């Protein structure tokens, strides 16, 4: 019997905005065909949580209390803020986008992503980030992730979409076009729940 692989902590970010025609748009990209996990599958930006994500960003970091409690209940020893930090960092690395509003850092900025926010005169709004849920890759997989999925307002995404090569065909896509994409069932559920909250105008938490 093969040994069960321990899942790695990861974080993903769903960005939704109103399109030019009023239809909601979601930012998605396709993992390249040689990827070791979910090749040729459309996903939201995201990736594994690094130890560096444990350190403060240098900006005000006030998670919604309900979001913080949910992140602390998943059995992880990581600080709750490590997950949204990772989601924002991975989104910046994979798409070139910064998500937040005007602001200035309150402490020294150690990671490139937080320096990018500071240079742009922006501040990540941790309090507006909602936690959708987490998904753990089945035990039959040779590569496993324990992924926390978050939702943020895509209208607050600043910059031009630019892929670093991890995601291909990266673009804002109207919801009506998603049925033509190859998306796994977990992502479908996450997107459906995120869209429901976005359309209802539900606050974080």
Query: DSSP assignment, residue 104?
Result: -
Question: What tens digit of pLDDT does each residue of 134-180 get?
Answer: 999 888 888 888 999 999 999 999 999 999 888 999 999 999 999 99
> Residue 51 in 3-state DSSP?
helix
CA distance 129 to 124: 9
118 compared with 138, residue with greater pLDDT: 118
pLDDT at 91: 98
Q: Rounded to the nearest 10 degrees, what angle do helices 82-95 and 112-120 cross at?
A: 70
Residue 187: pLDDT band with limits 50, 70, 90: very high
Distance CA 59, CA 98 (A): 14
pLDDT score of 37: 66
**pTM of the predicted model as reported, rounded to 2 decimal places:** 0.94
């Amino acid at each position: 019997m093969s040994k069960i692989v321990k899942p790695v902590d990861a974080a993903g970010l769903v960005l939704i905005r109103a399109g030019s025609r009023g239809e909601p748009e979601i930012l998605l990209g396709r993992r390249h065909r040689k990827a070791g996990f979910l090749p040729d599958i459309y996903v939201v930006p995201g990736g594994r949580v690094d130890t560096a994500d444990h350190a403060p960003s240098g900006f005000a970091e006030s998670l919604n209390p309900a979001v913080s409690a949910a992140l602390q209940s998943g059995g992880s020893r990581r600080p709750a803020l490590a997950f949204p930090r990772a989601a924002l960092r991975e989104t910046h690395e994979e798409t070139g986008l910064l998500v937040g509003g005007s602001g200035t850092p309150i402490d020294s900025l150690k990671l490139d992503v937080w320096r990018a926010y500071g240079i742009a005169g922006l501040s990540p709004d941790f309090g507006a980030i909602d936690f959708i849920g987490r998904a753990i890759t089945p035990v039959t997989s040779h590569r496993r992730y324990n992924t926390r999925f978050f939702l943020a307002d895509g209208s607050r995404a600043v910059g031009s979409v630019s892929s670093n090569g991890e995601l291909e065909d990266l673009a804002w896509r109207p919801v009506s076009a998603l049925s033509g994409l190859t998306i796994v069932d977990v992502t479908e559920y996450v997107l459906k729940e995120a869209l429901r909250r976005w359309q209802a105008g539900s606050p974080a938490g």
